Structure 1
Amino acid sequence: MIRTEKVLSVSWVDHHRRSAELAGALGVEPTFVRSNARFLPVRYFRQWIATWRLLATDADAVLVMQPPVLSLACAYLHTNRRTTLIGDLHTGTFRDPRWKWAAPLVLAMLRKRGFAVVPNEALAELCRSSDVPVVVSHGYLTEFDFAKVSEAPTMVRDGLSFVLVPLAFAYDEPIDEILEAARITPQLTWVLTGKAPQSVAASAPKNLILTGFVSKEEYSGLRANASVVLAATTAEDTMQSAGYEALAAGTPLVTTPTKVLREYFGDAALYAAPKADSIAEQVSHAFMNLPYLANRMEGLRKMRIAEQDEAIAQIKSRIRE
């Protein structure tokens, strides 16, 4: 782990855009504590030990991505009481069936030792209702650097127009509806990232490309060449990393009409219910209005970049308290 004089950043994942950007905005090198153990208890044990060793170096504050609750518990137990704990609470902290049971414990630790950073006002209200100080920060948006992308990735033909659908195949992603939307729009090419289950691969229509896991360079190439980005969810309070990425690149976006997504993207995006007919209709509409939608996204990006500096200043101020 690389450390500044004041803050450490710890995430128990291979990589996460929001964690990396938030740490970078605070002048911190993000540390992703990895383990390749297939047996989950062994993986968490190894990550706990690795984190414990990293925390031996004193810091004024530790920024910990949530979930899993174990990473925050490790920081809580292995730092002194003067160390401020900052919980970077993703939506899964409260909504993921695997981790929502631990939300009261997460909030209790932060109430005693620090504060929360959340991506939207809905999650902020959950923190405030438990008397946890909170800062709303959507991450740290930067303009996508097209100059660093040399060529289109090999899984798509150079010059091919396609809708990019970044996926984790998580609990809140309407996978079956996306597949059906692709099936009823054979004139469009759909590119889905992430490791798809065999059932998805078996039922994918011919105009849909499953990339599997892609490298950072390959993903940048997909982002640079996508005509449209689809970021769909069935969860009400979930922000969309794919939506942020579309905004950074000025790429037309189709997303879900939840309250938090409408509040953030406003009239810069198109909105589709997580149903096949709606997704197909709005993605098709986006392809017919590419220049207009790209212009709207670029305008919104300028506004959001101006806003985010205030949130980062609030986080830094709380660390100094």
Structure 2
Amino acid sequence: MSTSLTSGAIAAGEKSPVFVSWIDFHGRSEGIARTLGIREWSDGGGTGPLPLRYLRLWTSTWKYLRSQKPSAVIVMQPPVVALLAVRAAVGKNVRICGDLHTGTFHDPKWKWSTNLVARLLGGSNLAIVTNESLAGKVRNQGAEALVLHDLIETYPDVDSLGAFEDPALTYLVRGSYALVPITYSYDEPLDELAAATHLATDISWVFTGRAPKDFVEACNPANTVFPGFVSRDEYLRLLGHANVLLAPTTEEETMQRAGYEAMCAGKALVTSDTDVLKDFFGESALTVSPEAERYASAVLEAAHRQAEFEKRITELRTDRVYEQSRALARLSEWIHGDD
């Protein structure tokens, strides 16, 4: 479990807003909380069967919120159980904002609860989503929705981060590589990604996270790297040295955390040709259908035109930061009760 105080330097016990996430760490939650100057409290629930972890999380959430008596709560969604736990802890007199990730609407494990989440966030509450299409779905259920993308900022220069923690990764900078930060989830075309590693052999492929055994075995062993879960600084090193970032999805309404990170780092980006991603990134990224041949050719093209795409996405970042500032101002007004 981690509890972080943001730049607001809120004293312990002071009645103030808080961002609750049932995960050990999530960059979106941390970034939004830090920018708003509120507490960010996260807990992954430890190990063991899911019901046991949820029981621990319900208990820890209850204890934390009852002790803090927050003036408002933002809670990451899914799971809907976290929203229910927050509501049980703070009662009906404290406003709740749900940060609705795309899985709330599309993940087979949680889409059954979409309407319930929207109803719980009705009245004086609020839902945050990442695009207008999802906002429309929330509003159709009678809840207020605010479109807010992941925090877009400028990442530190990779040279300031020093050498890789894992010396075995150092060789990557002597060639070209594509960084693919995925979660091996329902909306990621794993078969196509594995096949792409066999088609684009002039570049290395770096897949972060806990890769399933069958995926590892399906990839080309000659040019794929699996560093596993890495520290935040190590991830920024991998990102900073990468020639291209690949952010794949098969879901139409999914925004990509990796795509935001490419913008923050000013990196060449390949992502999926969905309407929401094409609308957000425009000509600053290569958007292709989730097919092995398309991924392979686009990664090679983006690496070849690396400087051009880095310039485009850095220029777009300026516009997106301005849009983001307006959404954050609206959220700040809501969370501090200035309606």
Pick from 47, 50, 54: which aligns with 1:37? 47
What SS does the aligned partner of 1:266 have? helix
The reply to whether residue 118 of structure 1 matches residue 129 of structure 2 is yes
Paired residue for 1:237? Answer: 253
What SS does the aligned partner of 2:90 have? coil
Paired residue for 2:189? Answer: 174
| Residue identity matched to 2:61 | T
Aligned ranges for residues 56-75 of structure 1 at < 5 Å?
56=66, 57-75=68-86
Pick from 233, 258, 261: which aligns with 2:274? 258
Unaligned runs of 5+ in 2: none
Paired residue for 2:64? Answer: 54
Cα offset, 1:108, TM superposition: 0.9
**Is 278-287 or 239-248 further displaced after alignment?**
278-287
Q: Deviations over 1:257-282 (max 9, x none)?
A: 10110111111000111000111111
What SS does the aligned partner of 2:122 have? helix
Report the count of equivalent residues: 321
Pick from 16, 23, 31: which aligns with 2:33? 23
Cα offset, 1:305, TM superposition: 1.0
For the aligned residue pairs, the C-alpha RMSD in angstroms reads 1.4
Is the 8 Å Cα contact of residues 149 and 224 (structure 1) preserved in structure 2?
no
| Residue identity matched to 1:154 | P
Paired residue for 2:162? Answer: 150
Q: Deviations over 1:271-309 (max 9, x none)?
A: 111000111111111111111110001101111111111
The reply to whether residue 90 of structure 1 matches residue 105 of structure 2 is no
Cα offset, 1:6, TM superposition: 2.5
Is the 8 Å Cα contact of residues 60 and 82 (structure 1) preserved in structure 2?
no
Q: Deviations over 1:46-105 (max 9, x none)?
A: 000000011112122101000000111011111132211000000000100001111111
| Residue identity matched to 2:156 | D
Paired residue for 2:208? Answer: 193
| Residue identity matched to 2:243 | S
| Residue identity matched to 1:295 | K
Q: TM-score, normalised by structure 2?
A: 0.92
Is the 8 Å Cα contact of residues 273 and 288 (structure 2) preserved in structure 1?
yes
The reply to whether residue 274 of structure 1 matches residue 305 of structure 2 is no
Paired residue for 1:10? Answer: 20
| Residue identity matched to 2:306 | L
**Is 73-82 or 225-234 further displaced after alignment?**
73-82
Q: Deviations over 1:134-157 (max 9, x none)?
A: 110002211011154112453431
Is the 8 Å Cα contact of residues 81 and 113 (structure 1) preserved in structure 2?
no
The reply to whether residue 294 of structure 1 matches residue 305 of structure 2 is no
Cα offset, 1:241, TM superposition: 0.4
Is the 8 Å Cα contact of residues 33 and 40 (structure 2) preserved in structure 1?
yes
Q: Deviations over 1:31-51 (max 9, x none)?
A: 111222311100000000000
The reply to whether residue 204 of structure 1 matches residue 224 of structure 2 is no
Cα offset, 1:2, TM superposition: 5.4
The reply to whether residue 216 of structure 1 matches residue 267 of structure 2 is no
Q: TM-score, normalised by structure 1?
A: 0.97
Is the 8 Å Cα contact of residues 244 and 269 (structure 2) preserved in structure 1?
yes
Pick from 156, 160, 168: which aligns with 2:175? 160
| Residue identity matched to 1:311 | A
Give the Cα–Cα distance (whole angstroms) in 2 for the partners of residues 247 and 69 of structure 1: 30
Name the CA shift for 1:300/1:75 in 2 (closer, same or farther; >3 Å): same
| Residue identity matched to 2:329 | A
What SS does the aligned partner of 1:186 have? coil
Name the CA shift for 1:155/1:170 in 2 (closer, same or farther; >3 Å): farther
Is the 8 Å Cα contact of residues 83 and 113 (structure 1) preserved in structure 2?
no
Give the Cα–Cα distance (whole angstroms) in 1 for the partners of residues 176 and 202 of structure 2: 10
| Residue identity matched to 1:188 | I
What SS does the aligned partner of 1:55 have? helix
Name the CA shift for 1:155/1:200 in 2 (closer, same or farther; >3 Å): farther
Give the Cα–Cα distance (whole angstroms) in 1 for the partners of residues 255 and 92 of structure 2: 32
Give the Cα–Cα distance (whole angstroms) in 1 for the partners of residues 259 and 23 of structure 2: 20
Is the 8 Å Cα contact of residues 148 and 328 (structure 2) preserved in structure 1?
yes
Is the 8 Å Cα contact of residues 155 and 211 (structure 1) preserved in structure 2?
no
Cα offset, 1:160, TM superposition: 2.9
Cα offset, 1:216, TM superposition: 1.6
| Residue identity matched to 2:256 | Q
